């Protein structure tokens, strides 16, 4: 329907301050909400041919280990439109051996890690999965994945306890609990240990995370390298235990890894294992228990067969509501020409890198471009099944309408012209900023800078004037925005909800369901700044 002139009567925007959670309870349909890449590098630099404990610890940032290359993250977000990065770190660096596993951190290492996570989530608006890349082991990563004491192994006097693991997660989650773009991955690839102990450690981590007040999504692994193909079908399989996990917020999913080579290791160039059939039993198990899963690692070699196999895998995930996402293995700032997956000459997924001796196109140009990119959903995590509890009071906040200079002179018959498009987008942008300012006046949060809200409003308007109000959207976007306005009386005012098309097209930075959380809604068009 055409945009009504009654739209002009809107003099304020009421936005509920919601922290929406992607609740994954039984009966709630899912889809591919997360798609992206692993960032491997924070766990580098500790290998020892003699398995000497402490080798490479704490290590030199930028030399022995690093978390992300910011320019690579920029490329993935802008060019590939992904919305998820799984960022590896090492628990022995976060919790040095002199401290032991627990709530005491190496603040230098944590600071570098947080800088990477903040860049992904705050600067780029994507999601970050925190990935302790420790194989459910702690104290000797010198020959990972085989060295180190199994966490919770009471027969090993050197082993960290399950309680220590809970304290670790309580501390880490507490530090990120206000960042709704963070996802907690409990552990990378537990293996060769009692599955009952994996369950106990998983539950301890869940308990620690929730006790910290963190409400975000948690990803729990299984045993046997958390393989999707091996989730069922043998004694003490993950399927016999992992349905027993409990989360009071029901915001929990299973993380599985599924490579397509002969032994599921990701070390061979050829893809001979069909993902869809190998995941069929897991899919049935997820359906039985009303659970969801994400494929945290997958990959293939630099060949057309692997590209086709990856396409089939991602198609299968998209066709089954039990799966909510995937991240490919792997990019990272320190790989150079080395392979991260699947054959000596496959290279890695880091943009700008080469493979083999440095003369072969790298994995980003080949495997990512042909095997991953075609399956990246065009709409990632922009809607959700149902809202979750709010982390702040759900009180509507009224914002002043901001009008471009030429808006008041517009003819009423020109209601769908570019002037109104600018009005809509700029109003949303300013309202979002004002919402952030109002959020920070909450007595539980500190204001930054001490600037008054009225001064911020002036700054916002000055900014819009500087860029000549070139905050634009398409006619179709505006039409669907208006069509999908939801008018309900809450007793305190009228609540408006953005339509999906607006959320889908306004910005590549908004890749999640957290419409109520303050975030940058729109950027000026390139011509406004160039």
* pLDDT at position 371: 97
* pLDDT at position 267: 87
pLDDT in tens, 425-484: 556 655 555 555 544 444 433 344 455 556 556 666 666 666 666 655 555 655 555 555
The mean-pLDDT minimum among 63-72, 178-187, 313-322, 386-395 falls in 386-395
Q: What distances in angstroms separate CA 36 from CA 78, 80, 202, 372, 500, one per listed residue?
A: 12, 9, 24, 9, 21
Name residues whose C-beta falls within 8 Å of residue 427's C-beta, 6 or more positions apart in sequence. Answer: 13, 401, 402
DSSP state, 5?
G
If one counts every other C-beta atom within 10 angstroms of the C-beta of residue 406, the result is 12
Question: Higher model confidence: residue 168 or residue 51?
Answer: 168
- Read off φ and ψ for residue 87, nearest 5 degrees: -105, 115
Q: What distances in angstroms separate CA 182 from CA 111, 127, 254, 388, 450, one per listed residue?
A: 16, 6, 16, 16, 27
Q: What distances in angstroms separate CA 65 from CA 62, 74, 366, 439, one per listed residue?
A: 6, 20, 26, 36
CB 399 within 8 A of CB 336: no
Proportion of the chain above pLDDT 70, given as a percent: 66
Name residues whose C-beta falls within 8 Å of residue 221's C-beta, 6 or more positions apart in sequence. Answer: 136, 185, 186, 187, 188, 189, 190, 198, 202, 254, 255, 256
- 499 CB burial (10 A radius; 0-12, 13-18, 19+): middle
Distance of alpha carbon 123 from alpha carbon 477, whole angstroms: 25
| Per-range mean pLDDT, top range of 263-272, 287-296, 436-445 | 287-296
Active site residue ranges:
189, 297
Look at domain 34-375 and name its CATH class.
alpha beta
* pLDDT at position 504: 43
Distance of alpha carbon 135 from alpha carbon 302, whole angstroms: 27
Average pLDDT for residues 362-377, to the nearest whole number? Answer: 96
- DSSP H helices in 212-324: 275-289, 304-319
Q: Is the pLDDT of residue 278 over 60?
A: yes
Distance of alpha carbon 363 from alpha carbon 369, whole angstroms: 8
Q: Is the pLDDT of residue 226 over 90?
A: yes
DSSP state, 244?
G
Domain locations along the chain: 5-18+390-529, 34-375
CB 222 within 8 A of CB 238: yes
Q: Which of 354-376 are b and which e, b meaning 16 or more Cβ less than 10 Å from the residue's Cβ?
A: bbbeeebbbbbbbbbebbbeebb
Q: Is the pLDDT of residue 130 over 80?
A: yes
CB 27 within 8 A of CB 396: no
* pLDDT at position 430: 56
**Does the predicted model carry a pTM greater than 0.75?**
no
* pLDDT at position 15: 29
Q: Is the pLDDT of residue 292 over 70?
A: yes
- Torsion, CA 333, CA 335, CA 336, CA 339, rounded to 10: -150
Distance of alpha carbon 110 from alpha carbon 88, whole angstroms: 12
């Amino acid at each position: 329907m055409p945009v009504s002139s009654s739209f002009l009567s809107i003099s304020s925007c009421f936005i509920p301050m919601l922290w929406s959670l992607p609740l994954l309870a039984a009966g709630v349909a899912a889809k591919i909400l997360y798609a992206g890449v692993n960032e491997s590098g924070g766990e580098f630099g500790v290998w020892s041919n003699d398995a000497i404990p402490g080798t490479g610890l704490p290590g030199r940032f930028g030399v022995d280990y690093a978390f992300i290359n910011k320019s690579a993250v920029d490329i993935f977000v802008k060019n590939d439109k992904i919305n998820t990065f799984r960022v590896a770190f090492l628990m022995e660096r976060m919790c040095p051996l002199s401290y032991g596993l627990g709530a005491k951190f190496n603040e230098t290492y944590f600071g570098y890690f947080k800088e990477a996570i903040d860049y992904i989530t705050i600067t780029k608006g994507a999601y970050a999965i925190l990935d302790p890349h420790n194989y459910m082991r702690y104290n000797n990563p010198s020959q990972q994945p085989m060295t180190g004491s199994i966490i919770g192994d009471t027969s090993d006097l050197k082993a960290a306890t399950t309680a220590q693991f809970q304290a670790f997660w309580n501390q880490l989650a507490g530090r990120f609990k206000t960042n709704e773009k963070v996802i907690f991955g409990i552990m990378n690839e537990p293996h060769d240990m009692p599955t009952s102990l994996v369950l106990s450690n998983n539950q301890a981590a869940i308990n620690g995370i929730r006790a910290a007040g963190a409400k975000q999504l948690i990803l729990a692994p299984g045993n046997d390298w958390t393989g999707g193909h091996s989730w069922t079908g043998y004694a003490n399989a993950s399927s016999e235990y992992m349905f027993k996990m409990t989360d009071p917020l029901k915001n929990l999913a299973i993380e599985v890894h599924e490579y397509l080579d002969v032994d599921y290791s990701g070390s061979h160039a050829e893809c001979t294992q069909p993902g869809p059939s190998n995941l069929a039993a897991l899919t049935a198990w997820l359906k039985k228990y009303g659970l969801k899963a994400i494929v945290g690692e997958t990959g293939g070699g630099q060949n057309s067969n692997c590209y086709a196999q990856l396409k089939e895998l991602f198609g299968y995930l998209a066709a089954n509501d039990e799966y909510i996402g995937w991240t490919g293995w792997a990019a990272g700032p320190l790989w150079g020409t080395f392979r991260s997956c699947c054959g000596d000459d496959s290279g890695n997924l880091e943009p700008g890198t080469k493979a083999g001796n440095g003369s072969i196109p790298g994995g980003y140009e080949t495997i990512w471009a042909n095997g991953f990119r075609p399956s990246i959903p065009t709409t990632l995590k922009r809607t959700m099944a149902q809202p979750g509890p709010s982390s702040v009071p759900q009180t509507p906040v009224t914002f002043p309408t901001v009008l471009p200079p030429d808006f008041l002179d517009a003819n009423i018959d020109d209601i769908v012209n570019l002037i109104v498009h600018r009005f809509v987008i700029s109003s949303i942008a300013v309202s979002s900023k004002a919402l952030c300012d109002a959020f920070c006046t909450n007595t539980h949060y500190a204001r930054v800078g001490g600037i008054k809200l009225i001064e911020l409003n002036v700054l916002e308007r000055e900014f819009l004037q500087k860029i000549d109000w070139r905050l634009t959207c398409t006619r179709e976007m505006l039409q669907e925005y208006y069509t999908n306005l939801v008018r309900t009386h809450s007793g305190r005012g009228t609540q408006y909800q953005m339509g999906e098309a607006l959320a889908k097209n306004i910005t590549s930075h908004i890749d999640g369901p957290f419409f109520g959380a303050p975030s940058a809604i729109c950027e000026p068009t390139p011509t406004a700044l160039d």
